[in-house]
Each structure stands twice: as C-alpha cells, then as structure tokens.
Amino acid sequence: MLVVMQAHATEDQVRAVCRKIEKLGYRPHPMPGATRTAIGITGNQGEVEQGTLEEMPGVQEVIKVSKPYKLVSRDVKEDNTIIRFAGTQAQIGGRGLAIVAGPCAIENRDQAFAVAERVHRAGAQFFRGGAYKPRTSPYSFQGLGVEGLRIMAEIRRHFGMKIITEAIDNESLDLVEEWADVIQIGARNMQNFSLLKRAGRAKKPVLLKRGMSATLEEFLMAAEYILSEGNYNVALCERGVRTFADHTRNTLDLSLIPAVQRLSHLPILVDPSHGTGKRNKVTPLSRAAVAVGADGLLIEVHHQPDQALSDGMQSLFPDQFDDLMAQVRQIAAVLDRTVPEIGEREPVAVGT
C-alpha cells in the first residue's frame, strides 16, 4: 500500500501518518519527492483495511499495491496446472486444446444424443449441457435437473466424452459432483462465495467462468476461494464482459488470456458463444481465442437451433461446428498446439 501526501503537506502531517501506520502494525517507508512525499507500507498480509489513512490531514490518496491472491499465483507454483482425467487422454491445460461442446440446455434424450454424436465426431473431448439453468426470467425454461444429468451420464458411457455442467447452488453441486466430470460455476455465481467454498471441497475439477464485470484480480480471487479449500483442479473461462458496446451481447476480452497466463498457473478457456451471443461471430472469435493462446474452447452447438429452448441465437449448427474445428485445428498448429483429431464414428462403449 502506498500513501500519497498532498504537495503542501507538512512534515508533521507526514510523521503523523507514519505513526498511524506503525500503530496499525505495519512499517512505513517515507519517500520524499520533488513535489510531494509518498509513504510505502510493508508488513501487511493480504488486504489492509485502510481505516482513516485517507482522511488524515495532508493525505492526497491511498493506493493499494499488493495483490491478495496466493495459491492461484505463479509466485506459489511456476508450472502450468494440467487437469487430467483418469483413463482418458482428455485434459485441460496441456499442449492439446480442450474442446467443450454441446447444447446450452439438455432438453431431452434425443436432442442431447443428436448433438453429442455430432460434436464427438468432430473431435470434442468434453460434452457440455445445462441441467440447471440460471435464467434471467423466472418464466423461462429452467433445465431438466437430475434427469438432464442422467442423460449426460449416458452420453459419457456412449461416446466416452467427459461431462461438464453447471451447478447453481449447493444442492445441484452435490448432484453435479456425483454425475459429471467437471463442475461449472457460471458467471452470475462467480462471487457466490458460499458456492465457491463448496466447490473447493468437491472431488471433481471446477470450471470457473468470469463474472460479467469482474476484474482480473476478482476473477483470480474467486478461484483462490476454491483452491483455499483444497481443490487445485480449477480451470478459468473468459466469456465476455459487460460494456457499453451493443453489437454483441458481451464484449469478449481476449487480452485476459495472456494476462492470466502471466500471473497464474491455472488453464484458461474461452467461450465465444456467450462472449458474443451471435452465431455469426462464434467461429471468427473461436479462431481468435485459439490464436491468442487460450487453452481451450466452450462452444454451444444445437442440431435445431431455431427450436432450442434457450440461447438458440448463439448456437452453431453441427456443420458449422465441423467447420470451426477444421479452422481452429489449423490455427492451433501455428502455436504448436493440437486440437483433437476427428472422432471415430464408433461409440467408445456399447451404450445404455
């Protein structure tokens, strides 16, 4: 932390601030400058409650310096985290990109299988689908619940894809932890700290999406909540932030990817479907996400988007997803990364 004094602050005022800092248990470092004095503060662990420093006579401003995150930081772990899944080559965070695809919501068994068959064939190792949907309106379709989880478990058996699905409260998290392979925490719950702590005690990896107006620091602190409870298998996901711009539903902030990778060892994916909210922007932004260095993609695909119960506007047709995969595979190669080969037509297991 740094206290910047006013230009006309007296030496007495500077001394008073220093004494105050000492009284708070920290160490002041006064730095007289050409026009004003600044006072560095050390000795604080994490967040300091600045108390009345800013209100003291002669003080211009108090600036926060030290970053409060620890476990998510490269300061603690320099090597990239790779999330592995027993008995499979699917992973999040390694050289291979994690491709997660599926419908916004699981609507019924036929729909889910129709989509799963196509995204599996195109190379996706992870199947996503909502069983619990956080919808802006209480009158919108809210998801099939545990029935949706069961359908996805069938899809795992049938196609061998790992299942990623969202938990929206402690109750659904219990079920998602039981039935799925990765627990998704959505943007609206990024600072639902109660849910983050519960996710931190889960035995399954967590995919944490950035909140709609979360700073980089807040995003990392939300992940810190999960790690601080003992779950180190956390992947982050940029999905667009809220700005004044109105040509897309959100503004996809791709510069977050290298920024996260500089500070944190956690893998980070990109969701261009929610990030743009428009089908015709998903493929270009998917290319861009891979080009910027993301560790994977979340893509909404629906076999009949115009009959989807949610987010139809941003869901790709399966043929468009095939095309997207072909394009990002080539982009990935430029960065010496790989996108899974096109899946076999034969299911991994004799299903259900």
CA distance 98 to 297: 6
Per CB under 8 A, 259 contacts a second copy: yes
Per CB under 8 A, 183 contacts a second copy: no
Task: Give least dist CB 146 to a second copy, A.
Answer: 15
Task: Give least dist CB 125 to a second copy, A.
Answer: 22
DSSP for residue 293: T
Contact residue for a second copy among 12, 15, 22, 32 (CB under 8 A): 32
Residues 127 and 321 sit within 8 Å (Cβ to Cβ): no
DSSP 34-62: SS-EEEEEE---S----TTGGGSTTEEEE
Spell out, one character per residue from 209 to 248, where the chain touches a second copy: x when CB under 8 A holds, - when not: ---xx-xx-x--x--xx--xx-----------xxxxxxxx
Task: Give least dist CB 318 to a second copy, A.
Answer: 14
Residue 150 carries which side chain, given as an amino acid letter? R
Burial of 69 from C-beta contacts in 10 A (0-12 / 13-18 / 19+): buried
Helix/strand/coil for 114: helix
CA distance 167 to 160: 22
Per CB under 8 A, 13 contacts a second copy: no
CA distance 334 to 349: 34
Q: Give me the phi and psi of 116, to 5 degrees please.
A: -60, -40
Per CB under 8 A, 25 contacts a second copy: no
Per CB under 8 A, 121 contacts a second copy: no
Q: Give me the phi and psi of 331, to 5 degrees please.
A: -65, -45
CA distance 131 to 176: 9
Task: Give least dist CB 219 to a second copy, A.
Answer: 10
Q: Please report how many Cα atoms fall inside a 13 Å half-sphere around the Cα of residue 320, on the Cβ side.
A: 21
Task: Give least dist CB 1 to a second copy, A.
Answer: 9
Complex with a second copy: residue 246 or 346, whichever CB lies closer: 246
Stretch that binds a second copy, among 80-88, 116-124, 148-156, 194-202 (CB under 8 A): 194-202
Per CB under 8 A, 16 contacts a second copy: no
Complex with a second copy: residue 164 or 308, whichever CB lies closer: 308
Complex with a second copy: residue 9 or 98, whichever CB lies closer: 9
Residue 322 carries which side chain, given as an amino acid letter? D
Per CB under 8 A, 168 contacts a second copy: yes
User: Under the phi-then-psi rule, with left for phi > 0, alpha for psi from -120 to 50, and beta for the rest, what region is 322?
Assistant: alpha
Instruction: Show contacts with a second copy in window 62-81 (CB under 8 A).
Output: 63, 65-69, 73-76, 78
CA distance 272 to 163: 19
Task: Give least dist CB 154 to a second copy, A.
Answer: 26
Task: Give least dist CB 178 to a second copy, A.
Answer: 18
Instruction: Show contacts with a second copy in window 277-336 (CB under 8 A).
Output: 278-281, 284-285, 287-293, 305-313, 327, 330-331, 334-335
Complex with a second copy: residue 109 or 278, whichever CB lies closer: 278
